[in-house]
Amino acid sequence: MASESVVKLSGFFTILIMTIMLNNSVSGAFITNGYASSEIYSVTGDGNPLVGLDIESDNLYFGHYENIKSYNISGGYVSTVGTITSTVTDTIVVQNGSVTYTGYSYNYDFPPPYATGYFDTGGTYIQQTTIYGLYDAAVNPAGDLYIAAYPDASGTKIYRYNWASGNTTKIADIGGYSGGLAFDSSGNLYYAYQDIMNPAILKFTVQQVAAGNLTKNDGVSVLDISGGYLAFDENDNFYATTGYGRKISKYDLGTGIETVIANADPDWNVDAIGKFAINGDYIYSIYNERDVYGAIEQITIPEPTTIFLLGLSGLWLRRRSV
């Protein structure tokens, strides 16, 4: 919901100054809805998608083929954090200070074996535990790591992950196929519950998460959408991918109003929009065109529109937050 505040200032003339969003920006098959964007990294031709995404300071961390990589945003260069011995798919990548944690699966075995661990300073992978069916991971404001996974036919579980030991504690038995996780600044957990007839973004309070032993019915539905990946910005605005990665949108959790940020071009044969992360005024999103092309897009989140009105009886400043 838009909020307004009006401040009266002295003056005698009428001036109208408006900030207007840019026209649609197109990069490959990635189309933003009036937001400036640029492709900051891409790979072509090797048939392997970019997977996982996290941001720490000035670096993005993600998986590609056998490697976990980092991309320095200001410098524009890529480094290899470490290499895993087989093609990486369904990867989660989480940065904790100087240590990169990742969960992965081998692409050539069925059922695929999964491992979760971290890279040491020499780039050697240290396996800590095994979690099958990894989907997504998120870190709460206290610095605790949580993982959503589909380990067996009974459906999705959410685990608390111990950074040091790799031990996991199951805090929720949600069922169904796996969806994304995100925490707001208060430590409440949001989960994208997957159901064809009754999808929902479920909210679990910080107290519920601490207590554990949760089911789907313990969550409160805050949006009736089939979300994929989720994130909050620094102002607790909520974002989600929907439509099987066809778009990223910002949602007002009070009203349900959707603002579309970017779309996958429906005319292209694509794997669509993947994991995304938010840092300040930017959204960083993985975008994959099936077997051909993978990219990281940087989208500028616009400032709220500011309108100055100067009339005969005074000057009013109206600021609309969107």
In whole angstroms, what is the distance from residue 33 CA to residue 216 CA? 33
Please give the CATH superfamily to which domain 42-302 belongs.
Answer: TolB, C-terminal domain (2.120.10.30)
Nearest Cα neighbor of 285 from 268, 294, 273 is 273
Peptide bond into 111 cis (omega under 30): yes
Concatenated DSSP letters for 106-135? ESSSSSPPEEEEEE-TTS-EEEEE--SSEE
- Please enumerate in sequence order all residues whose Cβ is within 8 A of that of 160, keeping only pairs 6 or more positions apart, or say none: 144, 145, 146, 168, 169, 171, 212
* Contact assessment for residue 210 and residue 226, using Cβ atoms and an 8 Å cutoff: no
Tell me what pLDDT residue 184 has. Answer: 98
Nearest Cα neighbor of 10 from 320, 317, 318, 307 is 317
In whole angstroms, what is the distance from residue 155 CA to residue 285 CA? 27
Q: Where are the domains of the chain?
A: 42-302
Per-residue pLDDT in tens (0 to 9) along the chain, 322 residues = 322 222 233 333 333 333 333 345 555 567 888 888 899 999 987 778 888 999 998 999 998 888 899 999 999 999 999 988 665 655 788 998 888 998 876 554 545 557 789 998 888 889 898 888 888 999 999 999 999 998 888 899 999 999 999 999 999 999 998 999 999 999 999 999 998 888 999 999 999 999 999 999 999 999 999 889 999 999 999 999 988 778 999 999 999 999 999 988 766 555 688 899 999 999 999 998 876 788 999 999 875 444 344 444 444 444 444 4
Tell me what pLDDT residue 321 has. Answer: 45
Tell me what pLDDT residue 92 has. Answer: 84
Q: Which pTM value belongs to this model?
A: 0.83
Pairing of strands 125-129, 134-139: unpaired
Tell me what pLDDT residue 59 has. Answer: 96
